[in-house]
A and B are shown apart, each in its own frame.
Chain A
Amino acid sequence: MSALGAAKPAAGGAIDPVSSVVGLVLAVIFIGIVFVLAPAALFPLLGIILGGVLIGFGVHFVPVGGAPAAMGQAPGIATGVAMLAAGAGLAGLFGGAWAAELGVVVATVTGAIGGGLMMAVTCLMVNVIYVFGMGIPAASGKVTKDPLTGDTQAEYKSQGTEGHGLPFISFVGGVVGGLFGGGGGTLIYLMLLQVYEQYLPVIFNAKVEEIMPVAVSLAGIFAIGLFLVNAVLAAYNITGTIEGPHDPKFKRFPRAIVASLVASALCGLVAILIVVVNLNI
């Protein structure tokens, strides 16, 4: 779409080995800093990284068509990928944060289900509008057959378009993306909450119950910030639009995982340092 179209990302999913290794080394350094300064926060940091990777991976499943989808010119949901993923992931975070006292596993799964539920409702309504509001069946432009149902796609694609609506594989992709996003966001939140519950009472010389509002808000804000960083980076990786797991662009996900890993390690390190660094000034 660029006026200066020279800067198109490489079409394939090739990983740039040099920069990936540099990135991984950076990530190891970040983890090492936490290990030296606050060994107790090491596992939470690994959890944050896992959460970030889940988000970055999950965004690749979410079928987003961008502007052309709003005219039925391309399949997918007609909005921005980063923000749609954020909508689902944060709805999941809402559920996960509510279940925080039930333990990490239950809360993370609850968050994942929250994200999946949001995407299931949204994707269904997209298809309902297309089918009952506009009389347009779903068709993919990237594959000839739906890999899940085996439905042929090409003849359901109206003339002059790249497809429209959400074929079943895209619907499933949306739900899976919501599951990953909601689970990842919740995991980041829970890990940070754990760290803050441990350190903040010492800093403020107060009881855990007293500092809970600060711990919850800090963890919530950081989870949202980390979510947005990972979602936008993944959106850059797929250059804005993707049909779902059957889209050739999906194969680019390995480098997004490396990217999310490094970015989450960095942001997680900073988020942990805020309670570890104590200069008393």
Chain B
Amino acid sequence: MVENIVFGIGITALAGALAAVAGAAEDTESDIGSQGDPNSQVQLAPQMGFIHRIFNKAVAGEPPAYGLWCALGAGLAWIFLIKDINPILALILGATIATFVQGVYATSGYLGRTASLAKFGQPVYIDILKSMLSVTMAHAFVAIFTTVAMCYLMNAVLGHPFPLPILGLIWGIALGAAGSATGNPFYGKERQYQNQKFGAGVPISASGNIVRYAEAGQRNSLDNGWFSAKLGGPASGICFGLIVFLELWRTILFEHIAAGWGAIIVGLAVILVFVVIDRWVEVYARKNYGPYTVAEEASS
């Protein structure tokens, strides 16, 4: 029994670590490809007269897109497992083929959106595809493989009743939701609008005026990935890693206490802890940054 629990905790920690890697890779991938809500600005810029060399990958939002990549990777891995292929090999094969699909979707998204912007004079820069595609695919592979491996652990080792493809779908959507929620503002505001004031939202009047030139030369999406990999990516990793780890941890350790109510009480306690931390963060910002409009010296 104790051994079982120790084993379960080990798997929980491993799954949490895999999830953290997945979250970081997912956000970096979506920023290099420019996916999800921040991409609305990449889409808008040519209309406002700002021709740019940023990837414009329009493949749904991150949650449905990652729902597909992870469900597909898990489905393929499941097929290979049924056919008695070694699990590690099956997971890698599944993730590789799913990454191929991601790459095809990425190219067609860029070509489609850019060609439809012809009216505003935005050309298709084919070298963007050549140089950025491999990088997004590499990050996507990391994200898909870690997520599918995590789902495999949940199903095969921890004994979750859902089969692998359904777990892939569930955690793929959750991965996309966590990664886009955490990472999008950092890419959308902080990187695309680096020319705007720090510590303030982007005024609506500035919409579309994204930064198009780099320290030297012209900015492309690899520069954006380089930037967001420093904070947005790891933060997304922490977010998704915590979600997976805490969910498994409370179940493995406390589910057998008081016929299941143990895990519920622990979960509730964890939620309350997060509420307190959030309130502290909010008050910290209000105290230290101060209001924008009051003329007093509140902000110093």
Q: Number of contact residues on A: which range applies?
A: 35 or more
Check B37 against A69 for contact (C-beta < 8 Å).
yes
B270 contacts A by Cβ under 8 Å: yes
Q: Which of B243-298 contact A (CB under 8 A)?
A: 243, 246-247, 250-251, 255, 259-261, 263-264, 267-268, 270-271, 274-275, 277-279, 281-282, 284-286, 289, 291-294
Stretch at the interface among A5-13, A34-42, A151-159: A151-159
Measured in the bound complex, the distance between the Cα atoms of B259 and A103 in whole Å is 9
- Overall SS of chain B's interface: helix
Interface of A is mostly: helix
The answer to whether the Cβ of A24 comes within 8 Å of any Cβ in the partner chain is no
Complex CA–CA separation, A69 to B180 (angstroms): 11
Task: Please determine whether A73 and B201 come into contact, CB atoms closer than 8 angstroms.
Answer: yes
With the chains together, A151 CA to B122 CA distance in Å? Answer: 45
Tell me, yes or no, whether A15 is within 8 Å of chain B by CB. Answer: no
Q: Bound complex: CA of A216 vs CA of B201, how far in Å? A: 46
Across the interface, which residues of B come within 8 angstroms of A106, CB to CB? Answer: 259-261, 264
Q: Are A155 and B284 in contact (CB under 8 A)?
A: no
A125–B177 Cα distance when bound, in Å, is 12
Q: Please determine whether A126 and B182 come into contact, CB atoms closer than 8 angstroms.
A: yes
Chain B residues near A120: list those with CB within 8 A: 270-271, 274-275, 278
| Of A121, A155, A164, the contact of B293 (CB 8 Å cutoff) | A155
Given A117-B246, A118-B243, A168-B279, is A97 in contact with B162 using a C-beta cutoff of 8 Å?
yes
The yes or no answer to A175 lying at the interface (CB within 8 A) is yes
List B contacts of A110 (CB < 8 A).
251, 260, 263-264, 267
Considering the complex, give the chain A residue whose CB is closest to the CB of B292: A158
In the bound assembly, the distance between CA atoms of A151 and B283 in angstroms comes to 9
Q: Are A98 and B251 in contact (CB under 8 A)?
A: yes
Interface residue? A201 (CB, 8 A)? no
Residue A130 interfacial (CB < 8 Å): yes
Query: In the bound complex, how far is the Cα of B64 from the Cα of A90, in angstroms?
Result: 13
Q: What 1/0 flags go to B123-137 for Cβ under 8 Å of A?
A: 000000000000000
Given A83-B61, A87-B177; A168-B267 close (CB under 8 Å)? no
In the assembled complex, the Cα of A62 lies from the Cα of B260 at a distance in Å of: 27
CB distance from A28 to the nearest CB of B (A): 32
Given A94-B167, A125-B239, A138-B282, are A102 and B275 neighbors across the interface (CB < 8 Å)? no
- Residue of chain A at shortest CB distance from B293: A155
Q: B232 an interface residue at 8 Å Cβ cutoff? A: yes
Contact of B217 with A by CB under 8 A: no
Which residues of the partner chain B approach A113 to less than 8 Å between Cβ atoms? 263-264, 267-268, 271
Chain B residues positioned under 8 Å from A127 (CB to CB): 278, 281-282
- Looking at A52-60, A217-225, A253-261, A272-280, the stretch in contact with chain B turns out to be A217-225
Bound complex: CA of A78 vs CA of B289, how far in Å?
22
Q: Flag whether B54 is at the interface (Cβ < 8 A).
A: no
Q: Is A137's CB under 8 angstroms from B289's CB?
A: yes
Is the CB–CB distance between A126 and B185 below 8 Å?
yes
B63 and A102: CB pair below 8 A? no
Residues on the B chain within 8 Å of A123, using CB: 181, 274, 278
Number of interface residues of B (CB under 8 A): 84
Q: Quote the shortest CB–CB distance from B292 to chain A (angstroms).
A: 5
Does the CB pair B186–A133 fall under 8 Å? yes
Task: Please tell me if the beta carbons of A122 and B285 are within 8 angstroms of each other in the complex.
Answer: no
Q: Which residues of A contact B181 (CB under 8 A)?
A: 77-79, 84, 122-123, 125-126
Smallest CB-CB separation from A178: which chain B residue?
B271
Which residue of the partner chain, among B243, B259, B278, contacts A171 with CB atoms under 8 Å? Answer: B278
Instruction: Judge whether A133 and B264 touch: CB under 8 Å.
Output: no
Contact A73 B202 (CB under 8 A): yes
- Contact flags (1/0) for A257-269 with B, using CB distance below 8 Å? 0000000000000
Known A-B contacts A87-B173, A93-B170; A117 and B247 likewise in contact (beta carbons under 8 Å): yes
Known: A87-B173, A158-B201. 5 other contacts (CB 8 A): A71-B193, A78-B185, A110-B264, A117-B246, A129-B182
Q: Return the 5 tightest CB-CB contacts between A and B, nearest first.
A: A160-B203, A87-B177, A72-B201, A70-B188, A158-B200
